[in-house]
Amino acid sequence: MRLITKRKIRIYTVLLSLFLAWGSLPALAQSGSRLGSSGSETPALGNLSGVTLDSPSDRARLLEERNVELLGTGPVDPDVYVLGPGDLLGLEIVGAFSLSAEDIVGADGRVVFPQIGALDLSGKTLSEARDMIGSKTGRMIRGSDVSLLLRSTRAFKVYVVGRVGSPGAVRATAMMRLSEAIQAAGGFEAAADVRNIQILYANGETKQGDLLSFLLHGDTSANPTLLDGAVINVQPTTHQIEVVGSVMNPGPLDFVEGESARDLLEMIGLSPQADLSNIRIHSFSSGTDYTETLLGEGEDQTLKARDRILVRGLGDWDPEASVEVKGAVKFPGPHSVKRNDLRVADVVQLAGGALEDAVLSRVVLNRSFDPDSVRVTDPVAAKNYVANLTSYRSREVVVDLSHGEGPFVQPGDVISVPREGGFVHITGQVKVPGYYDHQPGWEPKDYIKAAGGFARLADKKGTRVTRGNHGDVLFAQDMKELAAGDMVWVPERPPISTWQLFKDLLSITTQALSVYLLVRETTN
């Protein structure tokens, strides 16, 4: 069974989205005509909560919906729009001296108006061009109103490369935004980084586009407009941040250098039940080792690649309502669950899925229990020790995820996903039995320590080691170093009944009395 599946882009889904988008154009155009003439503010687009970006088809649909909304965002912003070759400008002077003229910005960035002369507008915004003409005509023409108008916008080419459906040249205008160029190039491919899109302009300037906020909320601040000859590079996903818990849009998100935990959570949205004083960050230093940082209310921290953020909720959060996943998974650690809601395979997928070297046929589910009250059958003397491990009494279940999804998990369970040829099995009277990564030079006592130590009723001297899964059996005290595939079993001390304890005490008392009487008789 594959724990992680990738949904393919279905062409009929894209065609249906295009059809729906086309049907909504008249209404959007009509709404756009009612917008005010001021371009100083970008109208806010609708907020979509609970959307997912897990598959290319989801991203293609959302990208189309957001870009259709851009059609109604009104006039250009004169402080943002950069003039260039092909723009049609109109000059209107009304007053004591009147003039009406038009000219197209030439390839050299210049325009020529009668009585005014040539003006170099290359690289200037519409607002800067208006100030320039106002300053020049103010000295020549007094008592007249001067207006510089943008009659029509130019068209040019931009180049979209990288993880898009159809890399290459795309026809664009100066009003087109990054997201529209990506849609024109076929949309995002699988594993595309939507948060670190590189834009290289012809003048050597670079910008970074972050379309996550645009796709989730319609925020255009990180979705810049384009210039002539720009090269857009959509890079593959390399590092991610995992966000789970009480948030609106959980899941793996592309990592952005220098971003803080609070900024990311504000972008993806916190649920109303989120506990702002109980946000935990797991920072991984190696495959499975991590350090935990607790952020109190008002505290923040700069994120690192592969960090995991856990946001707990108010009221409905039980500190024990989680399952810990260990071993060969992408994001080991605790994951919140509800009782009888997810199976073992679901929780492994929630942890980012199994790694390539995971042994899915030997996943161990440890059910929370008091090890001092449970007697574990001796697996060494049993004919089939795997059958004994799956017994209810041991509360340690070996799950074969290659042929099924496993049982439902319960809060407090521990799931161990072993690595192929690189684990040691610790079972019996230890606090946290399961599979542990093989460590060169480790003795049995080191693995027992890693498993939480001995339980109170453990027979420490009787601890035994099986070499391989069905090999020679030796006492742990005779072993110096364990090999991958070995098993350490800690038996329980034989139980002592109340009657047996009474008989032993009576026997000791009788013997002590006999010795006392013998000494007394001898003395007399």
Domain spans in the chain, listed from the N-terminal domain onward: 11-76+155-234, 88-152, 349-493
| Residues 181-233 pLDDT 10s | 999 999 998 889 999 999 998 888 899 999 988 888 878 888 988 888 999 99
Instruction: Assign a CATH topology to domain 349-493.
Output: Outer membrane lipoprotein wza fold like (3.10.560)
Q: Which of 324, 312, 282, 314 is nearest to 411 (CA)?
A: 324
Among 113, 114, 149, 106, smallest CA distance to 129 is for 149
Q: How far apart are CA 169 and CA 156, in angstroms?
A: 10
The set of residues, in sequence order, having a beta carbon less than 8 Å from that of 36 and lying 6+ positions away, is 74
Express each pLDDT in 82-103 by its tens digit. Answer: 898 999 999 998 877 788 899 9
Look at the domain 88-152 and name its fold.
wza like fold (3.30.1950)
- Residue 232 contacts residue 197 (beta carbons within 8 Å): yes
Max Cα distance, the chain (Å):
147
Q: What is the predicted pLDDT for the residue at 8? A: 34
What integer pLDDT is reported at residue 160 of this predicted model?
96
Cβ neighbours, 10 Å, residue 470: 10
What is the structure's pLDDT at 64? 65
What pLDDT sits at residue 68? 57
CATH dotted code for 11-76+155-234: 3.10.560.10
* Cβ-proximal residues to 156 (8 Å cutoff; 6+ apart), any chain: 84, 86, 171, 172, 173, 174, 228, 229
Q: pLDDT averaged over consecutive 10-residue blocks of the chain (524 residues)?
A: 35 36 36 31 40 55 60 73 90 83 91 88 91 79 82 91 94 88 90 93 90 84 89 93 85 90 91 82 77 85 91 61 82 76 85 83 71 40 35 59 86 83 81 81 89 86 75 78 83 74 82 82 76
Specify whether the CB–CB gap between 430 and 359 falls below 8 A: no
Q: Distance of alpha carbon 207 from its chain centroid, rounded?
A: 24
Per-state percent for the chain, helix, strand, coil, to nearest 5 = 25, 30, 45
Structure tokens at 214: 């645009």
Q: Which two tokens stand for residue 223?
A: 């979705």
For residues 157 and 171, the answer to whether their CB atoms sit within 8 Å is: yes
- Cα separations in angstroms, 137 against 100, 134, 334, 475, 482: 14, 5, 70, 99, 89
Strand partners, 254: 240
User: Would you say the CATH fold of 349-493 matches that of 88-152?
Assistant: no
Answer whether 305's CB lies under 8 Å from 298's CB.
no
